[in-house]
Chain A
Amino acid sequence: MPRAAFERELQRLQDEILVLGSMVEKALMESVAGLKRRDLEAARRVIAEDRLINEKRFAIEADALVLIATQQPMAGDLRTIAAVLEIATELERTGDYAKGIAKISLMIGEQAFVKPLIDIPRMAEKARDMLHRALDAFIRRDVDLARAIPEDDGIVDALYNQVYRELLTFIMSDPRNIDQANCLLWVAHNLERAADRATNICERVIFTVTGEMVEMDVENGPDAGVEGIA
């Protein structure tokens, strides 16, 4: 088949995206699990491994640029490579969110939680699930799947509002909780942003397949609710 070398390289880049994706998923879950377990070592590991995530993202970018320069991809191939570049960036930012959560874990340190963490791990699992399925949709060029995933963003946003209201209650009951509550709010915020990133990836998938750019804003975003703060 003509352009076999190009095909192989393009496929390799997409596989690398999957690898990066799984690194980021793992970081996300590890950071939240570590937070829940009060495992400071896990948090430190996540922070250290973020470096690897960054390196992989740059490697993917560099290879993509080389492919563009040397192979002059057109049409579908061009859109695919553009998607690879974008998705690499989205994944790297999600990795940063995981790092942020790990740092907060260290900040909270040995303190006891004001309340057991239930919604936050649920948010993390949902965001991770969205991310995983988005990458799946990319590899399989599944437009229907890509269109369906952003609906789950609503669930994550709802969970976020819930966490927010709960923490607010705890702050009002005892002002000394402000510090920890803030930190936990920040964690929830990061997870909510991670879900948004997954939505962006879905937009990219649709563009790759159809050539159409669509904004997928879900109705009940954080701005929609009265209690939510943007």
Chain B
Amino acid sequence: MSERMKATTLSTRSNLERRHLIQRIAFGLLWAAGVIAVVVTVLVVAYVVVQGADEVLTVEMAHVTIDPAEGRMIVDLPDDSIDANVKVIEWPIKLPGAQLIVLEGVPLLTFLLTEPKGGLTGEGGISTTIITTLYLVLLTISIAMPLGVGAAIYLVEYAGEMQGRNVWLVRLVAVVRFGVETLAGVPSIIFGLFGYALFVTAMRFGFSLLSAGLAGACLILPVVIRTTEEALRAVPRSYREGSLALGATQWQTIWKVVLPAALPGIVTGIVLSVGRIVSETAVFYVTLGGSHNLPTSLLSPGRTMALHLYYLAMDTTAFQKAMGTGAVLVVGIIIVNAVINYLSRRFAVSARGR
């Protein structure tokens, strides 16, 4: 009997060492993978930021005159600056009789604050593109969010409930879900073509914010639906049961308990979509047009930063400015993500208790 015990003890010991060794190797490899992934990402980002920093951080001294009586501000840049035009900014509040305020040598990051000029040399800054990008993000979110969240709520809360009762509904839901999954994987240029054919041409919106917004909304709709669905499903069933057992209707339960609890997940979906819109080129290339001016209405064309980058790189000699635009894009995305992270952590903490 002790012979057998000895044998098993021995084999277990070498087995043990082998298992520890395998674990150490695995950890090493995983760690290396992680390091490589981080390094690669950092390199890409750093390269663009460093290359473009020069351009972005060009500071030029402006001569600023503030005229409260007329309600306007006049910015005058030196002749050799990016944008030699005098800029006038007006606001509606006028204080008659107020003194003129003159400021000499106001440092401005002119790259960010002046408009692009167009043309082969790509003069100017990227101010209009920044604003256009913002407009576009807002527009697509305001179209896609209600639709996407609403659809997801229906799929998870109501259609799920009805499943036992109606075979056709079950099939419909399955088809819808399959459609959403598929669309999520469709190449974005398809949405661009679709947008061009329907919004730009058939509906005669032309190259405009509206066309781009609608096409962009189609693009992010599957993502919003999918992430919202997952966020809703992640809400424990016990919350719903608890609410219903108190005599709440299903809608009250969704509105007051499920949605608030799913909010972090839904916000993640929105953030993902924002990232997608900001970085999209194909879709907007064929729906937004190429104008470097500030869009004045929904039907005006415009340029996002990503598109501007493309144009600068391909159609002009101002490669540096392309890098600069890229740097702004990347840094912007980093800041947005950081802010969202902070906010959602704050929100999650307050829900979990101190």
- Assess A/B contact in the complex (Cβ within 8 A): no
